[in-house]
Structure 1
Amino acid sequence: MNDLLYLFKRNIQSERLFQPGNVLLLAVSGGIDSVVLCELCHLAGYRFIIAHCNFQLREEESERDQRFVKALADNYRAEIFLKRFDTEAYALQKKASIQVAARELRYQWFYDLAAQLEAQKSIPIHILTAHHADDNIETVLMNFFKGTGVAGMKGMLPKTGKIVRPLLFARKRVLIDFAKERELLFVEDSSNASDKYSRNYLRHRVIPFIEEIYPGVEGNITANIERFREIELLYMQSIAVHKKKLMEQRGNEVYIAVRKLLKTVPLKTVVFEITKAYGFTAKQAEEVIALLQSETGKFILSSTHRILRNRGWLIISPFPQSEMQVMVIHENEREVIFEGGKLDIKTNEMNNKDIELPVSPAIACLDLKLIKFPLILRKWQKGDYFYPLGMQKKKKIARFFIDKKMSLFQKENTRVIEMNKKIIWIVNNRIDDRFKITTKTQFVLEIHFVGKAN
């Protein structure tokens, strides 16, 4: 018992997790791990508050856990906060798994509660969880199988912002022995016995199987976690050097010289580390590399950004912040449905050289030869401009709206179609003069806007 308490206090000091005078907010489920955490904090003389989440997923068992934690807090004469969550409803609303929903709910509440307590007590509050070394082994294996790269190999850190994990140095069996020696009471979560959850499957089946082949594998993984923490530091230092050489910030865009990037080694790793901050995946790193050999105008998209090849540059640009999802229109698409209606798209051959321009602003007729797919459909944003049909000078879209005396509602719901950072059509308004059909036009791209029925 004294050994674990000594190692617990030494770990807190060596990792600089918190100061003795700080207040600790302990996340307590009532299971053996969190009960041991409470006992260690009590024996070490730390000031702590208990927080318990009732996810209402196990009926009477959830109520039993809440009663137990309340009694535990009374035993330590500790302040306690209890929170009930409708976890199933939240998971349905967010289209997330129960595990993801529970994690989001509890951590958001912990952060909110810590901020509230800090404001009241005017003293730093740290959120402590009872994650231990076995949890970290499982996390590293899950990260490895999911392909999270070097960052995932270091597992959970002893401290991440306000979250502190002071038991990561200790194996589960050490906590069990401590609980037995101190005759600590705790509750069992019946869901921990189920293998339907990936973490439990690893715990009950995969790790014991590997242990049969490689005895001592858990200890080796624990040692490797320490090594990977240091490896990642070196790795990120090297990535920072590459970023500084390659990335040039211009306003809200990032420019990367194609020639410099082509000479970079290792190319794929550096590309991934640069682009992941903008929502791009490891798989898309290959697509970014392909852009280095493509012609001007090609681009790829994440949920928040676009990477465009423009002459000798790759340009990373954010999409405008709006409720409307940015949509990509590919060459073979004939119908695009979006929040404000739909677009019907077709191509026609220009047999009649006597050009008849469409009367309706809901129809755009464009010279197909001048159009390069894919196109982007999005809401207009401040700073957008185009060359209105019949004019040789560019005009800001905001000015165009003023001249047309458009209402605020009309402005807010207007979309544009963009190609290679050029607006080719203000949907249901006017096309850009540079892409109009002429006597030389052979094929026409015709786009019909159909608004939603009221």
Structure 2
Amino acid sequence: MIERLQEFIRKEKIFNPGDGLLLAVSGGLDSSVLCYLLINAGWKAEIAHCNFQLRGEESRRDEAFVRSLGKKYQAPVHVTAFDTAAYAEQHKLSTQVAARELRYAWLEQLRAERGLAAVVTAHHMQDNVETLWMNLSKGTGMAGLHGILPLQGRIARPLLFATREEIAAYAAAEGLDYVEDSSNITDKYTRNYFRHHILPPLRDIYPDVVKQTGTSIARFREAEELYQQALDVHKKKLLVQKGQEFFIPLTRFSQAKPLATIAYELLKPFNCSAGQALQVIALLDAEPGKYISTGTHRIVRDRKWFIITPLNTAEASYFIIEEGQDLLQLPGLQFSFREAANSAHAISADPLVACIDKAALQYPLMLRKWKQGDYFYPLGMVRKKKLSRFFIDQKLSLPQKEKVWVLESGKKIVWVAGMRIDNRFRITEKTRKVLRITMTEAAV
């Protein structure tokens, strides 16, 4: 078993001889065997144990047992206790998720403080197979097929080569002591349900299902590498970053195949779900200005691009204004929108105020920084003028140009903010409703 462990560590490049390791030891079968294997294989190890205070006397028994392992192997032991139930309630988490968050945060902090190479956990092949089935059931996509990785950041799992039966047989052969966790019997945890009710029927049909699935996981990992290589090619062609915004050219995007998969993988970093990715594809046939919102970003269909802009106004330079919205707060600027009936008092001479014929607008509106190629029809003119030329006429300096915002409706610029409106949106005698937009400086 030690030889197989060392070969797996070498093959997967998990850590190097001489590395100091922090072993996460619960006191159960798997972690007790891992502790014995690594220390007897010659690695310098320290032991870490989390007391989650969820099982009363049993939790205290586990802690005492782990401390005894430290004395047996002459290894430093680090123990911490968590009020897991209170943390779960405070953060609205399940007990299982709360325990995992607390555990890994403490382990990483301790690893860094002790100057150790990796946090080592005792996940084995059956854990990996259970994870694969759980991922398939949740629909995690291609990334879910690789299961638990042997090395992920500073977390190492060198026991993934072994089945639980092999680990139990080894413990019996070596006369190793360990403690039983009663929570492993209950089905209230998802993993336990898969362990007790999903894998046993599969074993009845395919006795070697764990080993065979474990072999498949290794192939899935290689397939995922090819998958990622292909995706990287598409990302380089399709995703352009400018500041905090990302741009996707509509024509190239529409020609990509398979589009649904590429769209999902391309947009996933922006918290876009698979369903929302399909909605983005549908925007190819929509009017400019239509958009999809994720939890962190807005994906806007522009004339030639999808524009991915953060919802955080401190980071964005593209903003959507919905009909009925009365305020847009930006760092250093504020735009207010007020609807009024047409009258002789509707028009303002103040350049910071735009009075627009509301009927000419197509919602949603977009507020953005101006860009090269932009043009509009300045108020009082019937011929279009490029903004770059307009700025020259206005004698704007480069720093002043960089601060200019434009309000857009559909494919048309409505207002060069703080300067002039577009003639096509002016108030006429036929105007019934006026949208009065005021730009003011605001606290950053």
Distance 1:50 1:423 in 2: 65
Structure 1 residues 317-396: aligned runs within 5 Å? 317-320=309-312, 350=341, 353-355=343-345, 367-374=357-364
CA 1:357–1:292 in structure 2 vs 1: closer, same or farther (change >3 Å)? same
8 A Cα contact 1:355 1:438, kept in partner? no
Instruction: Identify the residue that residue 280 of structure 1 maps to in structure 2.
Output: 272
Instruction: Identify the residue that residue 240 of structure 2 maps to in structure 1.
Output: 248
Amino acid at match of 1:319: L
Distance 1:72 1:65 in 2: 11
Query: What are the Cα deviations for residues 215-269 of structure 1, in whole angstroms up to 9, with x where unaligned?
Result: 4332321111011000000000111111112222323322221111111111111
8 A Cα contact 2:125 2:210, kept in partner? no
Structure 1 residues 163-174: aligned runs within 5 Å? 163-174=155-166
| Structure 1 residue 83 corresponds to structure 2 residue 72 | no
Distance 1:422 1:60 in 2: 71
Q: 1:205: Cα distance to partner? A: 0.6
- 2:99 is paired with a residue of what secondary structure? helix
Instruction: Identify the residue that residue 262 of structure 1 maps to in structure 2.
Output: 254
Q: 1:356: Cα distance to partner? A: 5.1
Structure 1 residues 37-436: aligned runs within 5 Å? 37-118=34-115, 124-320=116-312, 350=341, 353-355=343-345, 367-374=357-364
- 1:283 is paired with a residue of what secondary structure? helix
Query: What are the Cα deviations for residues 14-62 of structure 1, in whole angstroms up to 9, with x where unaligned?
Result: 1111111000100011111100000101221111000111111122221
Q: 1:271: Cα distance to partner? A: 1.1
Instruction: Identify the residue that residue 442 of structure 1 maps to in structure 2.
Output: 432
Instruction: Identify the residue that residue 410 of structure 1 maps to in structure 2.
Output: none
- 2:274 is paired with a residue of what secondary structure? coil
Q: 1:318: Cα distance to partner? A: 2.7
Distance 1:327 1:247 in 2: 20
CA 1:431–1:355 in structure 2 vs 1: closer, same or farther (change >3 Å)? farther
CA 1:321–1:11 in structure 2 vs 1: closer, same or farther (change >3 Å)? farther
Amino acid at match of 1:143: N
Distance 1:55 1:424 in 2: 60
Q: 1:89: Cα distance to partner? A: 2.1
CA 1:446–1:203 in structure 2 vs 1: closer, same or farther (change >3 Å)? farther
Structure 2 stretches lacking a partner, 5+ long: 330-335, 349-353, 370-378, 380-389, 401-406, 438-444
CA 1:5–1:312 in structure 2 vs 1: closer, same or farther (change >3 Å)? same
- 2:27 is paired with a residue of what secondary structure? coil
Amino acid at match of 2:427: T
CA 1:346–1:249 in structure 2 vs 1: closer, same or farther (change >3 Å)? closer
Distance 1:422 1:107 in 2: 52
Amino acid at match of 2:432: Q
Amino acid at match of 1:53: C
CA 1:79–1:257 in structure 2 vs 1: closer, same or farther (change >3 Å)? same
8 A Cα contact 2:289 2:366, kept in partner? no
Deviates more, 1:268-277 or 1:130-139: 268-277
Distance 1:334 1:36 in 2: 63
Distance 1:11 1:125 in 2: 17
8 A Cα contact 1:423 1:432, kept in partner? no
8 A Cα contact 2:203 2:209, kept in partner? yes
Distance 2:413 2:162 in 1: 60
Q: 1:438: Cα distance to partner? A: 3.0
The alignment's TM-score, normalised by the length of structure 1, stands at 0.76
- 1:131 is paired with a residue of what secondary structure? coil
Q: 1:90: Cα distance to partner? A: 1.9
Q: CA RMSD in A?
A: 4.3
Query: What are the Cα deviations for residues 407-430 of structure 1, in whole angstroms up to 9, with x where unaligned?
Result: xxxxxxxxxx998899999xxxx9
Q: 1:305: Cα distance to partner? A: 2.0
Distance 1:371 1:94 in 2: 44
Q: Could you tell me the percent identity over the aligned residues?
A: 45
CA 1:139–1:424 in structure 2 vs 1: closer, same or farther (change >3 Å)? farther
CA 1:446–1:98 in structure 2 vs 1: closer, same or farther (change >3 Å)? farther
Structure 1 residues 10-29: aligned runs within 5 Å? 10-29=7-26
Amino acid at match of 2:182: S
Distance 1:67 1:374 in 2: 64
8 A Cα contact 1:424 1:431, kept in partner? no
Distance 1:446 1:221 in 2: 65
Structure 1 stretches lacking a partner, 5+ long: 119-123, 339-343, 359-363, 382-389, 400-416, 448-454
Distance 1:10 1:235 in 2: 27
Instruction: Identify the residue that residue 406 of structure 1 maps to in structure 2.
Output: none
Q: When the two structures are aligned, how many residues end up with a matched partner?
A: 411
Q: 1:87: Cα distance to partner? A: 1.6
Distance 1:54 1:438 in 2: 71
- 1:254 is paired with a residue of what secondary structure? strand
Distance 1:376 1:94 in 2: 36
- 1:81 is paired with a residue of what secondary structure? strand
CA 1:260–1:113 in structure 2 vs 1: closer, same or farther (change >3 Å)? same
